[in-house]
Amino acid sequence: CKILRCNSEYVAATLHLRGPGRSAAFCTALRSYSRCTRRTARTCRGDLAFHSAVHGIEDLMIQNNCSREGPTAPPRPRLPAANPRGFESLDICDYERSFLYKHGRPPGFQHCAAFGDPHIRTFHDDFHTCRVEGSWPLLDNEYLFVQATSSPVAKGSNATVTSKLTIIFKNMKECIDQKVYQAELDNLPAAFQDGSVNGGARPGGSSLAIVERSPGRHVEIRAGYIGTTIAVRQAGRQLSFSIRAAEEVARAFTDEQDLQLCVGGCPRSQRMSRSPRGRGRVPPDTARALCREMLPVEDVYFQSCVFDVVTSGDANFTMAAHGALEDARLFLPDTEKLHIFQ
């Protein structure tokens, strides 16, 4: 079955279409795509990717008012024999481009964050406030392991904050050597533990890189080989973590890797109400006024901010919630899901 070749020819033909003449060229590419799938129909009858492509072509032709009869483009020349594995070997460490080549569409993405108390926004847009003292995995899959270590926000308090983050980028083929990034309070390095700032000496080493956004306050790690970006911040006496991960990467775990706060949220026994009871360190009205300056929409980020300021007495927690909201604004594939109300 050669459906991947059909997909790649279609992607190559439409990737750079722009301007008023786009519609005619797009229909030509769709007719060519359809012709290619017909030629491989016999050998691809049991292939799900083939059937997905056939249905996708039908939908696109209807949406773009394309006639079934009309000009088609000649097949694109194959890549030189010097590169026998073709496109995939050139872009194996560029996840988004490789996915587009294989599937004929861009990948989907998911977002998770942990900040403040900690508050967890899961890949499924659930939102929990957690007790979780000690070390807990945020992620544990085929590509990434992320562990957050929490400690009490104040003496005698049930609330906790993240004081340490350990992120392991696992060894991957031609792309990267295994790399470990570790951040602690007042120590947000702009390098991996071995002192490097990229994925190492392998051909795709540059597909993993660290960028320092604000010295000691905000670091961004880009892992292009798995379509993933991570932000680590410090605000006040806590660390925060945000990730934009390709759906395929976020789901790459086994049944044994079932404890991941980014996937399932906090265990029920560890969840807390965001309405602090008893005497706080700052009056709730004062906390709300402080949080409203940074977070004018009274969503879960605002509620979390109020909880943290009341519990800790530290106004810097307004920056933690604001930073998490800004990361969500950048990382969420659907901006309509930016604000969560509970």
Number of H helices, E strands in the chain: 10, 12
Percent of the chain with pLDDT over 90: 49
The total of other beta-carbon atoms located within 10 Å of residue 146's CB is 25
The pLDDT of residue 41: 86
Q: Provide mean pLDDT across the span 6-23.
A: 74
The pLDDT of residue 244: 97
Q: Provide mean pLDDT across the span 98-109.
A: 88
Q: Provide mean pLDDT across the span 122-149.
A: 92
Q: At residue 27, does pLDDT exceed 60?
A: yes
Burial of 305 (0-12, 13-18, 19+ CB in 10 A): buried
- One-letter identity of residue 40: T
Backbone phi, then psi, for 208, in 5-degree steps?
Answer: -125, 125
pLDDT bracket for residue 40 (50, 70, 90): confident
pLDDT, the chain, mean: 86
- Give residue limits of the domains in the chain: 2-64, 109-271
Q: At residue 89, does pLDDT exceed 60?
A: no
Q: What span, in angstroms and rounded, lies between the C-alpha atoms of 108 and 15?
A: 18
The total of other beta-carbon atoms located within 10 Å of residue 335's CB is 10
Q: At residue 102, does pLDDT exceed 80?
A: yes
Write down the CATH number for the domain with range 109-271.
3.40.1000.10
Q: Which carries the bigger pLDDT value, residue 32 or residue 279?
A: 32
The pLDDT of residue 208: 96
**Of 246, 265, 308, 257, which is closest to residue 113 (Cα–Cα)?**
265
The pLDDT of residue 264: 93
- Whats the size of the chain, residue-wise? 342
- pTM listed for this prediction: 0.73
> pLDDT (tens digit, 9 = 90+) per residue, 279-310?
577 899 999 999 999 999 999 999 999 998 99
